A and B are shown apart, each in its own frame.
Chain A
Amino acid sequence: MSKANNMNTASGNKPRTIDIVRAGLAKRKASERRFKLYGKIAIGLGLLFLLLLFGSIAGNGYTAFVQTYVKLDVHIDADRIDPAGNRDPKELSRADYGGLVKASLREMFPEVNSRREKRQLYRLASTGASYQIREMVLADPDLIGQKLSLWVPADDEIDMLMKGHIDRKSAEDDRRVKDNQIAWVDRLVSEERIEKRFNTIFFTAGDSRDPELSGIWGAAAGSFFTLIVTLLLSFPIGVAAAVYLEEFAPRNKFTDIIEVNINNLAAVPSIVFGLLGLAVFINFFGMPRSAPIVGGLVLTLMTLPTIIIASRAALKSVPPSIREAALGIGASPMQAMIYHVLPLAMPGMLTGTIIGMAQALGESAPLLMIGMVAFIVDIPQGAFDPSTVLPVQIYLWADSPERAFVERTSAAIMVLLAFLITMNALAVMLRKRFERRW
């Protein structure tokens, strides 16, 4: 260092480059640190909001994965459900199973007398209890006449009480669960006749007006069929369009216009695609309302630009030397494409497709227009059955007044997020797998 200084003085007034560099070094490093800090702050903020989002959703929704069940001693009274005694399935399916549930509740709480109190008592068990008994009896008519000990879902209000979402200290008029109901529930708790269990209904049932009977499966199946239709249509069409535009189409005004319009299409609000679907697919072609096939078609229109743009970028990133190598030994442009360029562009294309699919999965606005917002209880069995989709189900539940739908909304969001994460993980996996083929 001292030697350098000596040399500096020796060379006269002209400062050496190294001294100038050293003088400015601290400033340079400081700005570098500052820049890194900005980046860290940005990532930190992003993570914070993500955590906040996930935290609040999970915090609201995790209770929906359990459901309160009540144990009833039901006497399958032959006089009530099969007075004729011929076990005719038609008669059996029409019988008054609700009466059995009510009877067993009355039996449990014999002190309840007034009509008003009885009505409150009957509200302890879900209306689903009678369906459950009906299914059991229809499956096995020998149960008639027996006395069964059954776990049936509790009513959603009782469920809320058990989960602590209802404040017992508030005035009786302010809550949906009355004092006497609370007393009954407390007695059931002490008798161990009420407990929380994993909520299988939520994962196996379709929508319902009763929160405790409503499930996500119908919407998930609808989403699945819609996405299958979207994938089957948009991937081949998108890739074919991208390949043609990128590799074969002449560069002229016409292809320029097409390119600009594809980019424009990517920016069109999705509800417009919904209107288009309503006008063209449903009104003109007469396709069924609320059906995944129409939803898939609409989402295909919406996803195509994403896939085309991503696929073209992927094709562009394939080094031209590969094309030249193939062409140089006499491959036709088509052969160069199929054997070499397409496999190399595939990871990028798949990533674009899955991102498009993830967008389509989360899309609700266009589907509202084509009637997928209808209240549908049955689980769709195919792409032509009426159904709804996950985001629309979330919208429907978020709109419902019952307290129990709040947690179900959050739970449905969690299911949707799980699907999205799975799809993105799949995208990463596929990309890695294909890239390993050198």
Chain B
Amino acid sequence: METIDESNITEMDKPMVEKPELPSASSKVDREDRATVGETMVDDPRMSCRDVNVYYGENHAIHDVNLDIGRNEVIAMIGPSGCGKSTFLRCLNRMNDTIDICRVTGSITLDDEDINHKKIDVVPLRAQVSMVFQKPNPFPKSIYENVAFGPRIHGLADKKADLEEIVVTSLKKAGLWDEVKDRLDQPGTGLSGGQQQRLCIARTIAVGPEVILMDEPCSALDPIATAKIEDLIDELRQQYTICIVTHSMQQAARVSQRTAYFHLGDLIEVGDTDRIFTNPRHKLTEDYITGRFG
């Protein structure tokens, strides 16, 4: 995180340098220009995407996205509805495979391995790059079973005690332990919305992933539950790389170190979160974050 700015700004600003020369009302990049502005690359990225295009049948949903995801960073993806941020997120662990008409081109690498390669099995990939969804979706089973499912199917625990250990640590990490420790055998669906979402996060953590993808994890939650999840994300950053899609700019500003702004399938601007929110370089980004969109 700390080293990103210096190294990348110089590199990435080059193609942009010509653009601001063009006559423009402000010094911003014009809204018609769809090339990505900002620092798409980082040193030693965990995941890197090059020329990613996504098609839903005939519909070209994402155009030529280049983006690196660094280690132990929280990267937020923001943008108006239908801009393709969720679609892009789902590319990162090939959840788009489940949609028949969806086609992904370009290269996405995880630790320099192309995840779209024929030889890559999605099962270990998703164990490594796991996903938390927009709507809390606990399994209609007990809290314990919800968390234990991942370790069990991956064979992470040989003994019952080991499995219990994983469940307890995951729940503790997700900040849910104190609330549910007395009722692990109760249905996960009986929890409140915020608790359910933290249960889903615990379920994801239990698998021991390296990257966690979160698709608008707080959109169904009230502000208090949201605050809890945000604190949790901040803590999880020590161990995991987190990509979070969010509708809320405040949330992006609070939890992320880098922010990527999507607009109608284009990655418009990427950069340090503080910089994006204080000094956006693209007109579209500025319009969006200042709420003048349209």
> Is A115 in contact with chain B by the CB < 8 A criterion?
no
- Bound-state CA distance A331–B155 (Å) is 11
> Is B20 in contact with chain A by the CB < 8 A criterion?
no
B149 touching A329 by the CB < 8 A rule?
A: yes
A329 touching B130 by the CB < 8 A rule?
A: yes
A328 touching B100 by the CB < 8 A rule?
A: no
> Is A38 in contact with chain B by the CB < 8 A criterion?
no
Give every chain B residue within 8 A of A344 (Cβ-Cβ). 140
- Bound-state CA distance A250–B100 (Å) is 8
Chain A interface, DSSP helix/strand/loop, else mixed: helix
A438 touching B141 by the CB < 8 A rule?
A: yes
Q: Mark B209-226, 1 if CB is under 8 A from A, else 0.
A: 100000000000000000
Give every chain B residue within 8 A of A327 (Cβ-Cβ). 95, 98, 126
A330 touching B124 by the CB < 8 A rule?
A: yes
Give every chain B residue within 8 A of A322 (Cβ-Cβ). 137, 139-140
- Given A329-B207, A331-B153, the answer on whether A251 and B100 have CB atoms closer than 8 Å is yes
Count chain B CB atoms within 10 A of each CB in A319, A329, A331, A339 and give the residue with the most.
A329
- Given A322-B137, A437-B140, the answer on whether A328 and B132 have CB atoms closer than 8 Å is yes
Q: Nearest-CB distance from B187 to chain A (Å)?
A: 4
> Is A87 in contact with chain B by the CB < 8 A criterion?
no
Place the interface of chain B in its size category.
20 to 34
Residue of B with least CB distance to A335:
B153
- Bound-state CA distance A324–B130 (Å) is 11
B126 touching A340 by the CB < 8 A rule?
A: no
- Bound-state CA distance A339–B148 (Å) is 12
B154 touching A330 by the CB < 8 A rule?
A: yes
> Is B93 in contact with chain A by the CB < 8 A criterion?
yes
Give every chain A residue within 8 A of B137 (Cβ-Cβ). 319, 321-322, 324-325
B127 touching A329 by the CB < 8 A rule?
A: yes
Give every chain A residue within 8 A of B106 (Cβ-Cβ). none
Q: Nearest-CB distance from B188 to chain A (Å)?
A: 8
Task: Determine which of B127, B139, B153, B187 lies in contact with A325 in the assembled complex, contact meaning CB atoms within 8 Å.
Answer: B139
Q: Using a CB-CB cutoff of 8 Å, which residues 106-159 of chain B contact chain A?
A: 122-128, 130-133, 135, 137-141, 149-150, 153-154
Q: Nearest-CB distance from B136 to chain A (Å)?
A: 9
> Is A326 in contact with chain B by the CB < 8 A criterion?
yes
Residue of A with least CB distance to B189:
A438
Residue of B with least CB distance to A320:
B98
> Is A208 in contact with chain B by the CB < 8 A criterion?
no
B150 touching A330 by the CB < 8 A rule?
A: yes
Task: Determine which of A250, A330, A340, A438 lies in contact with B127 in the assembled complex, contact meaning CB atoms within 8 Å.
Answer: A330
Give every chain A residue within 8 A of B282 (Cβ-Cβ). none
Q: Mark A329-347, 1 if CB is under 8 A from B, else 0.
A: 1111001000110001000
- Bound-state CA distance A340–B207 (Å) is 17
Task: Determine which of A250, A323, A330, A438 lies in contact with B207 in the assembled complex, contact meaning CB atoms within 8 Å.
Answer: A330
Q: Using a CB-CB cutoff of 8 Å, which residues 76-100 of chain A contact chain B?
A: none
Task: Determine which of B133, B135, B140, B154 lies in contact with A328 in the assembled complex, contact meaning CB atoms within 8 Å.
Answer: B133
Residue of A with least CB distance to B205:
A329
- Bound-state CA distance A329–B130 (Å) is 5
> Is B268 in contact with chain A by the CB < 8 A criterion?
no
Q: Mark B166-198, 1 if CB is under 8 A from A, else 0.
A: 000000000000000000000101100000000
Q: Nearest-CB distance from A309 to chain B (Å)?
A: 22
Give every chain A residue within 8 A of B53 (Cβ-Cβ). none
Give every chain B residue within 8 A of A438 (Cβ-Cβ). 140-141, 187, 189-190
Give every chain A residue within 8 A of B61 (Cβ-Cβ). none
Give every chain A residue within 8 A of B140 (Cβ-Cβ). 322, 344, 437-438
A328 touching B126 by the CB < 8 A rule?
A: yes
Q: Nearest-CB distance from B4 to chain A (Å)?
A: 28
- Bound-state CA distance A322–B126 (Å) is 16
- Bound-state CA distance A250–B101 (Å) is 11
Residue of A with least CB distance to B130:
A329
A329 touching B203 by the CB < 8 A rule?
A: yes
> Is B48 in contact with chain A by the CB < 8 A criterion?
no
Q: Nearest-CB distance from A416 to chain B (Å)?
A: 37
Give every chain B residue within 8 A of A332 (Cβ-Cβ). 123, 153
- Bound-state CA distance A251–B125 (Å) is 25
- Given A344-B140, A438-B187, the answer on whether A328 and B153 have CB atoms closer than 8 Å is no
> Is B87 in contact with chain A by the CB < 8 A criterion?
no
> Is B200 in contact with chain A by the CB < 8 A criterion?
yes
> Is B204 in contact with chain A by the CB < 8 A criterion?
yes
- Bound-state CA distance A251–B209 (Å) is 32
- Bound-state CA distance A420–B206 (Å) is 48
Q: Nearest-CB distance from B159 to chain A (Å)?
A: 20
- Bound-state CA distance A328–B131 (Å) is 5
Q: Mark A269-296, 1 if CB is under 8 A from B, else 0.
A: 0000000000000000000000000000
- Bound-state CA distance A335–B122 (Å) is 13
Give every chain A residue within 8 A of B153 (Cβ-Cβ). 330-332, 335, 339
A324 touching B207 by the CB < 8 A rule?
A: no
Give every chain A residue within 8 A of B125 (Cβ-Cβ). 330
B123 touching A328 by the CB < 8 A rule?
A: no
Give every chain A residue within 8 A of B207 (Cβ-Cβ). 329-330
B139 touching A328 by the CB < 8 A rule?
A: no
Q: Nearest-CB distance from A86 to chain B (Å)?
A: 73
6 examples of A-B residue contacts, CB within 8 angstroms:
A319-B137, A325-B138, A328-B131, A330-B125, A331-B150, A438-B190
Given contacts A324-B95, A329-B150, A339-B149, 10 further A-B contacts (CB under 8 A): A322-B139, A325-B200, A325-B203, A326-B149, A328-B130, A329-B209, A330-B123, A330-B150, A332-B123, A339-B153
Ordered nearest first, which 4 A-B pairs have the shortest CB separation?
A330-B127, A328-B131, A330-B126, A321-B137
